[in-house]
Amino acid sequence: MASKEEIRSEHRRLRKTLSPTQLEDAGSGVAVHGADWAAGRAGGAPAAFAVYLGVSFEPPTLLLMAALHAAGHRVLLPVCEPSRQLSWVLWTPSTPFVSSSYAPINEPVGERLPSTAAASAAGIFLPATAVDRDGNRIGQGGGYYDRLLDFLDSSGVRPPTIAVVYDSEVLPAGTIPAEPFDRPVAEALTPSGVVRLGPGSTADPGPGAP
């Protein structure tokens, strides 16, 4: 079995081969299916969703953020804090961004809400470089979301979570090594749709960008 770092490195390499058109198409698919997923979790009412801004060759999420905002939802974006903690800023299309002091990402400027703000969200969109059918997830290696999920699980208040990946990054069960601190996810959001993970999940994610 390949290590997490080997899997992460290989998928980062493959992501760098994506063309601007492929990235644009992926962003459109993620927005459509992600907005539908959020609508199901919100029960037809405005709600809060924790999202993140996809950068470089990550699945683009800006269109998803805009779709959630247009639907009347509150969009919370993360800010990296010391000790691998996350705070949250309420995003609107006019929110400016700056480079993070702790991670290679762009972060929103605004009033920072505590990490616990994610507990009251109707759903959390998680960054990932791959997931497998067991629900194991490989993030970016920083550990911020592992800590967040651990806190939410320990508190018994984890909202529905969904990992955002390209279609080919949904891997067969048993592909990703599971470690004690890992927190599995039940679903993956790909440009082609939502994929159920965990026991009994057998459906293919469908064709799409790698």
Binding-site members for substrate are: 53, 58
The DSSP secondary-structure symbol of 160 reads P
Are 33 and 194 in contact by the 8 Å Cβ rule? The answer is yes
Please list, in sequence order, all residues whose beta carbon lies within 8 angstroms of the beta carbon of residue 62, skipping any fewer than 6 positions away. 27, 53, 54
Residue 64: phi and psi, rounded to 5, are: -65, -45
The secondary structure of 100-127 as a DSSP string is: -SSSSSEEE-SPPBPGGGGGGSSEEEEE
Annotated binding site for ATP: 4-8, 137-145
Burial readout 96-134 (b: 16 or more C-beta within 10 A, e: otherwise): eeeeeeebebebbeeebbebebbbebbbbbbbbbbbbbb
Q: Tell me the two tokens of residue 52.
A: 């993140």
Annotated binding site: 4-8, 53, 58, 137-145
